[in-house]
Chain A
Amino acid sequence: EVQLLQSGGGLVQPGGSLRLSCAASGFTFSSYGMGWVRQAPGKGLEWVSSISASGSRTYYADSVKGRLTVSRDNSENTLFLEMSDLRVGDTALYYCAKDRKATPAGEVDHWGQGTLVTVST
């Protein structure tokens, strides 16, 4: 059974940093693209970032480029999202997402449980 177990969310002040993790199991992690999708309270889905199966290719939404960094450790079956210079507008539930393909295609067939990031004074 595919499982994506997220950790690392919480409350942070504007300008602060946070690291999200997503531990994967039940599938060959190194064979699939992964990514992050967020949802602000009461709002719609927003694609944040994706990474290819090997980790050689990364993709970012313009709203987070230069502040958020996606990476993966295929030896530890873990996906990361390093978040810096956080803004109030980054407040959202962040989902870890597994793609159906090695090169991300926007076809997320499994989701993490979500982790809440709150940016506030």
Chain B
Amino acid sequence: QSALTQPASVSGSPGQSITIPCTGTRSDIGNYQLVSWYQQHPGKAPKLLIFEVSNRPSGISNRFSGSKSANTASLTISGLRAEDEADYYCLSYTTSATFVFGGGTKLTVL
């Protein structure tokens, strides 16, 4: 199972919005609503931001939103803040009854 495809890096200025795409295939993202997103700061465990494509766990800011179209899922962060600088990963269930992460995207807040 190949990793989902994410850009290695994205950047934005405080207050702006950015979108991180996560591209898979009909065997994963395109076939299921089980897509989640994680934020990881250096030296820390990941944190769940989005589950089931677009749902936020309690306590997660509504500045984070998720969506999906065909084989591509996306995470949008609005009103960028310095503390949003981190690595972001998507995760999807697959038709092989496995899960697969994206390669990760490093967000830099300029």
Contact = CB atoms under 8 A, between A and B. Distances in A.
Which 8 pairs of residues, A with B, have the shortest CB-CB distance?
Answer: A111-B45, A44-B104, A107-B51, A47-B99, A106-B91, A45-B101, A106-B99, A106-B36
Interface residues of A, number: 22
A105 interface: yes
16 contacts: A37-B46, A44-B101, A45-B91, A45-B101, A61-B99, A62-B1, A62-B96, A62-B98, A95-B45, A100-B51, A105-B93, A107-B34, A107-B48, A109-B48, A111-B45, A111-B46
A112 B93 CA distance: 22
Secondary structure at the B interface, as helix, strand, loop or mixed, is strand
B48 A108 contact: yes
Nearest to A50: B99
Q: Give the interface centre of A59, A106, A107, A111 by most chain B CB atoms within 10 Å.
A: A106
Nearest to A65: B98
B40 interface: yes
A103 B78 CA distance: 32
A61 B99 CA distance: 7
Given A44-B3, A47-B100, 5 more contacts: A47-B98, A50-B99, A105-B51, A108-B36, A109-B57
A111 B104 CA distance: 18
A32 interface: no
B38 interface: yes
A44 B51 contact: no
Given A44-B89, A61-B1, A100-B51, A108 B46 contact: yes
A107 B52 contact: yes
A32 to B, nearest CB: 14
A45 B36 CA distance: 13
Nearest to A4: B45
B30 to A, nearest CB: 15
A114 interface: yes
Contacts of A60: 98
B73 to A, nearest CB: 12
Contact of A45 (B1, B46, B48, B92): B46
Nearest to B91: A106
